[in-house]
């Protein structure tokens, strides 16, 4: 009976993990699903791991350590997974790989952990879990303990780590996590801590505009199925955004001029769609989305129809501009064997075509999710998206 239940759960995972589910989700659930796909899949049927005595003992120990913490700062440290706890839980998940085989098959098909797909099931589960656990720890290190992130100007926290405001928030988070994690699986305490701290610091950007097929990209996604791809030399024209640096400014001059150039390529018939890419990045915690503002500009100033504009509103860097576009192309059935175009300023395209950019992709996203083709002009280069773009980046929780 248990294996039958597991099989049913496995069949549902394709829409419960990497792919956007049909049922409405809260921003918190979207951030959870995107950052920690294995943990999200386990959460759909937590009894699969709660029945394991070693994992349940770990859950009990962690909960008691949090309850016994001498103060809110100590509570944050108690919420993190230690290396020993990660190793123990990974080992137990590996031992459960037979019961979790349907789950593993679905996760491999989705590609959230593509770099581990060639591993046998026990090793795959262990590697995927370590990625999730280390990602949760990373959130606590940055958002709760105030460690310096990779890009401090855009990814840091507002409050001083040693200030009164942070102390109040830590106390509230401590209490919330104790309430949320009681009688839950081994991962719940650290997971709830990570989500609580992203929430407290207003860092749910990964959920912006979701579900995009029902909102910002509804008309464009609808048009994809009617597109005659053989009538165009390229699939999409990806315009790289550039956030403004002044408070209250919705769109920068650079983004306007880049979008105008993309519209020119569109009107020349280079591709049936323009992709505008960029999230709420510059300046720090701006309310304006680069993609949304460029879409407005293309429609209102350049006369591009909404059905021809795909917004990618999550990317925070050039690396993820391309990766996220590749993900959309994969998900929406845009041809992968036909090139797209990337356009920006000349210096920016020089950066994209340089060896250093590929190294940055590998370091920050664990993959290089594209190959480049010919340089069409100083301001445009061909690119081919790769399926490995679905790999989650565990150290970028604002856009994993």
Residues 300-352 have pLDDT tens digits of 999 999 999 999 999 999 999 999 999 999 999 999 999 999 999 999 999 99
Tell me, yes or no, whether 118 and 237 share the same domain: no
What was the pLDDT predicted at 160? Answer: 93
The stretch 39-46 carries a mean pLDDT of: 96
Q: Is 254 found in the same domain as 188? A: no
Mean pLDDT, the chain, whole residue set: 94
329 with 353, same domain: the answer is yes
Domain C-terminal end among 158, 185, 204: 204
Confidence at 24, pLDDT banded by 50, 70, 90: confident
Q: What pLDDT is stored for residue 22 in this prediction?
A: 53
Residue 129 and residue 240 in one domain: no
Whether residues 228 and 186 fall in one domain: no
For the segment 86-111, the average pLDDT, to the nearest whole number, is 97
Tell me if 270 is assigned to some domain. Answer: yes
Which residues is 237 bridged to in the sheet? Answer: 274, 341
Q: Report the pLDDT value the prediction gives residue 1, as an integer from 0 to 100.
A: 36
Share of the chain above pLDDT 70, in %: 94
- Assess if residue 170 is contained within a domain: yes
Within a domain: 129: yes
| Full domain range(s) for residue 378 | 208-390
Please tell me whether residues 291 and 230 are part of one structural domain.
yes
Q: Are residues 48 and 129 in the same domain?
A: yes
**Domain presence at residue 395:** no
Give the pair of three-digit tokens for residue 194: 């990570």
Does 295 map to a domain? yes
- How many structural domains comprise the chain? 2
Residue 300 lies in a domain: yes
Whether residue 226 sits in one domain with residue 150: no
pLDDT tens for residues 270-299?
Answer: 999 999 999 999 999 999 999 999 999 999
Q: How confident is the model at residue 174 (pLDDT cuts 50, 70, 90)?
A: very high
pLDDT cut 90: percent of the chain above it: 93
Indicate whether 111 and 157 sit together in one domain.
yes
Read off the pLDDT band of 29 (50, 70, 90).
Answer: very high
Q: Which of 258, 300, 250, 249 lies closest to 276 in space, CA to CA? A: 258
Q: Are residues 121 and 200 in the same domain?
A: yes
On whether both 158 and 294 belong to a single domain, the answer is no
Residue where a domain stops, chosen among 151, 178, 204: 204
pTM of the model: 0.93
133 and 225 in a single domain? The answer is no
Looking up residue 341, the CATH number of its domain turns out to be 3.40.50
Q: Which of 204, 233, 266 is the last residue of a domain?
A: 204
């Amino acid at each position: 009976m248990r294996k039958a239940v597991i099989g049913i759960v496995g069949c549902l995972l394709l829409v419960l993990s990497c792919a956007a589910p049909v049922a409405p989700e809260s921003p918190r659930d979207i951030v959870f699903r995107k950052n920690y796909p294995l943990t999200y899949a386990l959460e759909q049927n937590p009894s699969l791991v709660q029945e394991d005595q070693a994992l349940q003992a770990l859950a009990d120990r962690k909960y008691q350590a949090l309850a016994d913490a001498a103060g809110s700062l100590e509570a944050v440290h108690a919420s993190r997974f230690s290396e020993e706890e990660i190793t123990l839980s990974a080992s137990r998940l590996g031992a459960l790989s037979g019961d979790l085989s349907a789950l593993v098959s679905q996760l491999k098909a989705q590609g959230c952990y593509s770099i581990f797909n060639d591993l046998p099931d026990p090793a795959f589960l262990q590697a995927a879990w370590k990625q999730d656990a280390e990602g949760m720890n990373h959130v606590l290190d940055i958002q709760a303990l105030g460690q310096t992130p990779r890009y401090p100007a855009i990814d840091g926290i507002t409050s001083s780590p040693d200030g009164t405001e942070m102390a109040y928030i830590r106390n509230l988070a401590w209490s919330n996590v104790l309430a949320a994690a009681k009688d839950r699986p081994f991962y719940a305490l650290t997971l709830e801590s990570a989500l609580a701290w992203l929430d407290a610091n207003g860092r749910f950007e990964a959920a912006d505009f979701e579900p995009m097929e029902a909102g910002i990209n509804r008309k464009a996604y609808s048009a994809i199925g009617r597109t005659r791809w053989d009538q165009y030399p390229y699939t999409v024209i990806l315009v790289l955004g550039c956030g403004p640096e002044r408070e209250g400014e919705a769109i920068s001059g650079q983004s306007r001029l880049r979008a105008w150039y993309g519209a020119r390529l569109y009107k020349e018939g280079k591709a049936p769609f323009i992709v505008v890419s960029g999230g709420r990045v510059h300046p720090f915690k701006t309310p304006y989305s680069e993609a949304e503002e460029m879409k407005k500009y293309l429609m209102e100033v350049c006369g591009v129809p909404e059905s021809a504009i795909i917004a990618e509103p999550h990317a925070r860097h050039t690396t993820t501009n391309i990766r996220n576009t590749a993900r959309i192309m994969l998900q929406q059935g845009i041809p992968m064997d036909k090139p797209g175009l990337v356009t920006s300023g000349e210096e920016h395209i020089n950066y994209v075509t340089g060896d250093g950019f590929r190294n940055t992709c590998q370091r920050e996203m664990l993959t290089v999710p594209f190959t480049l083709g010919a340089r069409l002009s100083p301001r445009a280069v061909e690119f081919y998206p790769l399926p490995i773009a679905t790999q989650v980046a565990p150290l970028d929780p604002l856009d994993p």
